[in-house]
Structure 1
Amino acid sequence: MPAAAADMTLKLGHLANEDNTWHKASVKFGEELEALTNGRIKVQVFPNESLGKEMDLINGMQLGTVDMTITGESLQNWAPMAALLAVPYAYKSLEHMDSVAGGEIGEKIKAQIREKARIRPIAYFARGPRDLTSNRPIKTPADLDGLKMRVPNVPLFVDVWKALGAKPTPMAFSEVFTSLQNGTIGAQENPLALIKSASFYEVQKYVNLTEHVRSWIYLTLSELTWNKLSAEDQKNVMEAAKRAQAYERELFLADEKKLVGELEAKGMTFVQVDKKAFAEKAKGAVLAAVKPEIRPIVEDLFNQ
């Protein structure tokens, strides 16, 4: 049983920069928790990997040297169900994703992460969906025929784009701009925030709203740290996390809207895509690539 609540400072490290909504929500979490505990519990936030890279932070949380981080499908190294955070075409909309992340499947994912990784998800943040940029409009899978495009070095992504008819090439993010500029590749896919920050609008005309990967990421607390808290402070942590989650969503929605305007102002055209046709064509490759234990869930998500 934890002793009478003592003063403590939680260390929260993450990979995003200070402008990112995750960072702002982390700071908000700290402010709320400090207020709820009358200053007894403070949160020190370390952005830009300044406390360590994602995997180092996860390991640190398991050892008790780090208290908190923001992490997502990387946890599938411990908890296979964490792969559900970022399955191509599994979530039709933000509302659909919310119903999963905040519902029964979400509870099972969190339980497995707690059990296998000894890390406790306390809130989740939406990530901007990944869209395809190109120099010709892409409305249906047929339009992808022979399109050379960059994908991250994720076997699932490579398989899915192959199944859709494109020619995916894994490549480091740092090489993408030059490869688009010199025509080695004709397309790439990323969330709007990265499309803007990487200046892809200088070398790409269209943003095709494929929204092929919708995903979320967790604000997490080490189980070792959680077990040091009194029942009342555990409640305070969850309340502060709930407020931080609502705050992040507000920022996220405003951000996505603003990014569309900014990219249009830079000369990009947004293209509506037949998402259903893409999802149907990608389904086989997705199901073949996911682990057997989550396959029935993924199949069910596709059919919703």
Structure 2
Amino acid sequence: MSVATTLKTLLLSGIATVAISASAYAADMILKLGHPANEQNTWHLASVKFAEELKALTEGRIEVEVYPNETLGKEMDVINGMQLGTADMTITGESLQNWAPMAALLAVPYAYKSLEDMDAVASGELGDRIEAQIIETAGIRPIAYFARGPRNLTANREIKTPADLNGLKMRVPNVPLFLNVWQALGASPTPMAFSEVFTSLQNGTIDAQENPLALIKSANFAEVQKYVNKTEHVRSWIYLTISEGAWAKLSEADQGNVMEAAKRAQAYERELFTAQETSLVTELEAAGMTFVDVDNAAFAAAAKDAVLNSVSADIRPDVEALFAR
């Protein structure tokens, strides 16, 4: 073997070794993203999309491990883990009001008139202030947001105006704001665990319940409820977030890559969400449910005082501004 051939062989060997080494250590950072949704949920699919996009944008230097179904812990546990450095990312919303009072604005009854109206707020000046407070007080950075399906009232009778609610026995989650609003609207709300709702509707303990279409379908409420009254009383969004600790470890360029991947994931989730909301209407109608248009303006007007009296003083001026638009 000539000297030149030997040198060439050694050089190629060295290049191969470097390539193998680079491949073995391709991921300079691994981010753990835990969330409560299952693998079919749009939030999970968008999380996977975010991981794929970030890996591509950083040429494999940053990978995201996605943990659905609370496998990394329940929502509050993951948030605490992000603050302690044992978790990096999650999907969370108004639960952050434990640290940032403005996070309650994500889910105020009748604060947002439509999906487009909600988008304008979430991506506007008020949304910026909410995000800034979350970063400052919770140590968690929102990087994208996903829409949640509006909550609608199901019952075995049509409900078009607040007057139609008179005495209606309905289940609400154990949220004082929701309880106060439905009482003000004329219903008889009862806090109840979600696991008890189907049986309670079946045996007549309650007459109605309220939830997004996805839960109405997955809980098989079509078997015990005839109407979906389109109250759309709560429109809300939820954030894809990263801990400030993980964010600080990123270079400025990679912070830009994270934000670009998040932007793409947000757009992807919105496509999935829009298609799902349309298909859910078709599926619930096929299951025998009838959709009923309601006087949303009348509901909002009747609920306003109860909403304002139920929110904290910290956010009341912002809620008043939302109702005044």
Choose which of 299, 313, 317 in structure 2 pairs with 1:278: 299
Q: What is the CA distance between 1:293 and its match in structure 2?
A: 1.6
Local SS of the residue matching 1:218: strand
1:12-35 Cα offsets, whole Å, 9 max, x none, are 000000000000000000000000
1:18 equivalent to 2:39? Answer: yes
Choose which of 229, 241, 245 in structure 2 pairs with 1:208: 229
Choose which of 236, 248, 260 in structure 1 pairs with 2:281: 260
Residues in 2 aligned to 1:148 and 1:73: alpha-carbon distance in whole angstroms: 27
Choose which of 35, 44, 69 in structure 1 pairs with 2:90: 69
* Amino acid in structure 2 at the alignment position of 1:162: Q
Residues in 2 aligned to 1:105 and 1:286: alpha-carbon distance in whole angstroms: 18
Change (3 A) 1:255 1:6: closer
Q: What is the CA distance between 1:303 and its match in structure 2?
A: 1.6
TM-score by length of 1: 0.98
Q: What is the CA distance between 1:300 and its match in structure 2?
A: 1.1
Find the counterpart in structure 1 of residue 118 from structure 2: 97
* Amino acid in structure 2 at the alignment position of 1:139: K
* Amino acid in structure 1 at the alignment position of 2:165: L
Find the counterpart in structure 1 of residue 30 from structure 2: 9
1:30 equivalent to 2:41? Answer: no
Find the counterpart in structure 2 of residue 184 from structure 1: 205
* Amino acid in structure 2 at the alignment position of 1:151: V
Aligned 1:1-304 pairs, distance under 5 A: 7-304=28-325
Residues in 1 aligned to 2:324 and 2:148: alpha-carbon distance in whole angstroms: 23
* Count of equivalent residues: 300
Q: What is the CA distance between 1:6 and its match in structure 2?
A: 6.9
Pair member with larger Rg: 2
Find the counterpart in structure 1 of residue 19 from structure 2: none
Residues in 1 aligned to 2:118 and 2:309: alpha-carbon distance in whole angstroms: 22
Local SS of the residue matching 1:52: coil
Q: Which sections of structure 2, spanning at least 5 residues, go unmatched?
A: 1-25
Residues in 1 aligned to 2:263 and 2:27: alpha-carbon distance in whole angstroms: 23
1:148-174 Cα offsets, whole Å, 9 max, x none, are 000000000000000000000000000
* Amino acid in structure 2 at the alignment position of 1:88: P
Residues in 2 aligned to 1:97 and 1:74: alpha-carbon distance in whole angstroms: 18
TM-score by length of 2: 0.92
Q: Which sections of structure 1, spanning at least 5 residues, go unmatched?
A: none
